[in-house]
Amino acid sequence: MEAVYLTFVLMLSIYLGFELISKVPSTLHTPLMSGSNAISGITMVGAVVAAGMDASPLANWLGAIAVANGAINVVGGYLVTDRMLAMFKKKVAK
């Protein structure tokens, strides 16, 4: 049942993703990509569990490396997106 339930969540999310993204104008495609890329760093949540769980040290090490990579993805992704979006300005009336 678990598998069915998770697949259900997956399907709805994919549909929602299509709906949301197709409305983004091409001007913002680079920030969209780096911003959504940052969201894919969500895998860090899994990495945190792996790094902190009570298992063999090897699993924790794998988790720690995963946490580090996830953090690169998350922190770098959000910051660089913010840096880009800060540059998009409307014409100022002079």
Partner 1 sequence: MDMEIFINLTYVVASVLFIIGLKMLAHPDSARRGNIISGVGMLIAIIVTLLERQVVSYEYIIWGTIVGSIIGAVAAYRVSMTSMPEMVGLFNGAGGLASLLVGWAALYMTGNSTFTSFTIFLSILIGGVTFTGSVVAWAKLAEVMPGGAIVFGAQRLVNALILIGIFVSGALVTMDPSLNSPQFYVLVALSLVLGVMAVIPIGGADMPVVISLLNSYSGLAACAAGFAINNNVLIVAGALVGASGIILTQIMCKAMNRSLGHVLFSGFGAVKTASKIEGEVRPVSAEDAYLILEAASSVTFVPGYGMAVAQAQHAVRELGELLAKNGADVTYAIHPVAGRMPGHMNVLLAEANVPYDQLVEMDDINPRIDSIDVAVVIGANDVVNPAARTDENSPIYGMPIINVDKARTVFVLKRSMASGFSGVDNPLFFGENTRMLFGDAKESISRLVSQFKH
Looking at residues 43 to 82 of the shown chain, list those that interact with partner 1 (rule: CB under 8 A). Answer: 43-56, 58-82
H/E element, 68: helix 57-71
Residues 9-48 that bind partner 1 (CB under 8 A): 9-10, 13-18, 20-48
Residue holding tokens 């860090």?
Answer: 44
Binding flag, residue 93, partner 1 (CB under 8 A): no
Residue 56 CB, shortest distance to partner 1, in Å, is 6
End-to-end CA distance of the chain: 63
How far is C-alpha 31 from the geometric centre of its chain's CA atoms? 13
By CB under 8 A, tell whether 3 contacts partner 1: yes
CB of 86 to partner 1, least distance (A): 6
Q: Are the C-beta atoms of residues 59 and 53 closer than 8 Å to each other?
A: yes
Decide if residue 1 touches partner 1 (CB under 8 A): no
